[in-house]
């Protein structure tokens, strides 16, 4: 029996084989994930119905299992609302953060370093998030 809060077998298996600099994508319910698969990515569909599961719940679970060192979101138009980006920043804390132009963002998802795409039922716009896996630091390595 697992003692981790995340028990989805495919997610755990892919995270276990994802090394430093691997990318994990948390996709909203509108991202055409079938067109986003890269050569090394596995897609998991958690979008049972709109709103279930949401992207923040999935991010919280990933953070309990895997070290994250960076995050990328898609640039939003000036008139658009992307409050979810603020929620991501709050949950992620001290990680590198960047925004990427829409088509470049899609290309980044298709990159060979993407190992996992988790499609959620998230309905908020601009909720797609690319995470970069970090390393587990030893106590004596806390300075870098």
Instruction: Please write the tens of the pLDDT for every residue from 18-62.
Output: 999 999 999 999 999 999 999 999 999 999 999 889 999 999 999
What is the number of other CB atoms lying within 10 angstroms of the CB of residue 111? 13
- Higher pLDDT pick, 104 / 4: 104
What are the helix (H) ranges across the chain?
9-16, 55-65, 83-92, 102-109
Is the full-model pTM beyond 0.85? yes
Measured CA to CA, the distance from residue 12 to residue 105 in angstroms comes to: 25
Say whether 49 sits in a helix, a strand or coil: strand
Q: Which two tokens stand for residue 6?
A: 């995340």
* Angle, alpha carbons 110-116-77 (nearest 5°): 55
């Amino acid at each position: 029996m697992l003692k981790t809060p995340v028990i989805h077998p495919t997610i755990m298996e892919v995270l276990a084989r994802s090394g430093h600099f691997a990318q994990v994508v948390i996709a909203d319910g509108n991202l055409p994930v079938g067109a986003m698969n890269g050569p090394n990515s596995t897609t998991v569909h958690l979008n049972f119905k709109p709103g279930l599961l949401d992207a923040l719940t999935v991010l919280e679970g990933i953070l309990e299992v895997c070290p994250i060192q960076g995050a990328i979101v898609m640039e939003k138009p000036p008139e658009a609302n992307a409050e979810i980006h603020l929620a991501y920043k709050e949950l992620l804390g001290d990680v590198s953060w960047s925004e990427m132009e829409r088509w470049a963002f899609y290309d980044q998802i298709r990159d060979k370093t993407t190992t996992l795409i988790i499609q959620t039922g998230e309905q908020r716009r601009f909720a797609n998030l690319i995470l970069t896996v970090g390393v587990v630091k030893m106590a004596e390595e806390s300075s870098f």
